[in-house]
A and B are shown apart, each in its own frame.
Chain A
């Protein structure tokens, strides 16, 4: 018994090694497909997350400016996927400016350059605009620390910023939630922010493949019936042999 078990175990481990070498996508194979539903809201959801997707919200708010710049403040998109907390004086005062208009807009990653390093965007790109009012001058940088929290649809710990959506710079970031689906990093100022992951994209078969899955199902059921029939045939033959009758041709 143990010998058989050990032999089967060795075969299994050889299959593991061969599969790891063959697949090469870094993802461990799961023995059942069960991906949790994502509550993440995509502007342009990948096909896998498209069913039931709700569009994310943008936000706009006005921050008052004093002689020392902005007060302690925070702003977030209505769905909480993009949250920024500003320390007192993070936005410096500017001549003639009494407030800062902040706008955060989620956009689809396909409207910006792909993130570098063989990674792929993990959720929406968030465009942050800050403009002094009433002068209309753009805020280009922050002078005091600010913190960013970004929700993610999938595992990944990379976060990028870009002034224009074309040249991405990686931020030092770390996950903060138990489910590893929230990243925090320093908020460096207006620009484009996007999380990234090295996970392979979750696969949804195209419509044709989904139709073919029905045929695969039918073929599998038919194959199973054939196997069961072969088993039954073996039983019948054995019984006939045991009873001394000639086996059926």
Chain B
């Protein structure tokens, strides 16, 4: 792991960090409560688009401790993204089965939005809040959150898979110092599932 985030210095930054943590926790709660949110509307897809768009916008606009510059960042980005995509591709071959939904322009766009929004939330916001406590802690804790929010939608059976997927994406975040590599990997992983 070459990228770590500096802990917030001084009490002046404690309040913003605490606010960010509360907002991050609320976002995780909203993601976990997805089935309830969707059931309240006659247009579930519109609800999900709104939710993920909100997470994306809020996640990108939130002030978090600055991402650490990594030496040879471009090299790390290419290598870690490639490793992640290869891992998800091999996983896709191993799991076999069939696509859960039809691949259309809509499903590609919607799943890509969800993937990017989730990466902004878990690998930018949550990871950013957790990173001062240590990179390993940030990876494990953000992976656990990533997995837990999916339980209400997909059931407990995908918990280990999502923890492992979250760890892989978290490792990419730690290695590259940015949420962009896991976001790109997550988008491609979803495309692989749909193909």
Contacts and interface: CB of A to CB of B under 8 A. Distances in A.
A247 interface: no
Contacts of A25: 97
Interface string A199-228: 100011101011101101111111111011
A18 B104 CA distance: 29
A181 B102 contact: yes
Interface in B92-118: 92, 94-104, 106-107, 110-111, 113-115, 118
A35 B110 CA distance: 9
Interface string B151-190: 1111101101111110110011001000000000010011
Q: Is the interface of A mostly helix, strand, loop or mixed?
A: helix
Contact of B104 (A17, A23, A36): A36
A76 to B, nearest CB: 22
A179 to B, nearest CB: 5
Contacts of A199: 98, 100
Contacts of A225: 21-22, 25
Interface residues of A, number: 70
B153 to A, nearest CB: 4
Contact of B90 (A13, A214, A218): A13
B130 A227 contact: yes
A217 B95 contact: no
Contact of A230 (B2, B104, B133): B133
B79 to A, nearest CB: 8
A13 B91 contact: yes
B16 interface: no
Nearest to B171: A8
Contacts of A154: 102
Nearest to B43: A52
A31 B162 contact: yes
Interface residues on B, range: 35 or more
Contacts of B36: 210-211, 213-214, 217
A216 B164 CA distance: 21
A207 B36 CA distance: 9
Interface in B10-50: 17, 21-22, 24-26, 28-36, 39, 41-45, 48
Given A1-B175, A210-B35, A19 B157 contact: yes
Given A4-B171, A221-B26, A228-B25, A235 B7 contact: yes
Given A51-B41, A225-B21, A12 B130 contact: no
B88 to A, nearest CB: 8
B144 interface: yes
A11 interface: yes
Given A12-B165, A216-B33, A28 B95 contact: yes
A29 interface: yes
A30 B168 contact: no
Lowest 8 CB-CB distances: which A-B pairs, in order?
A217-B33, A221-B29, A32-B114, A231-B133, A15-B164, A220-B32, A224-B25, A213-B36
Interface of B: 1-2, 7-8, 17, 21-22, 24-26, 28-36, 39, 41-45, 48, 76, 79-80, 83-84, 86-87, 90-92, 94-104, 106-107, 110-111, 113-115, 118, 126, 129-130, 132-134, 137-138, 141, 144-145, 148-155, 157-158, 160-165, 167-168, 171-172, 175, 186, 189-190, 193-194
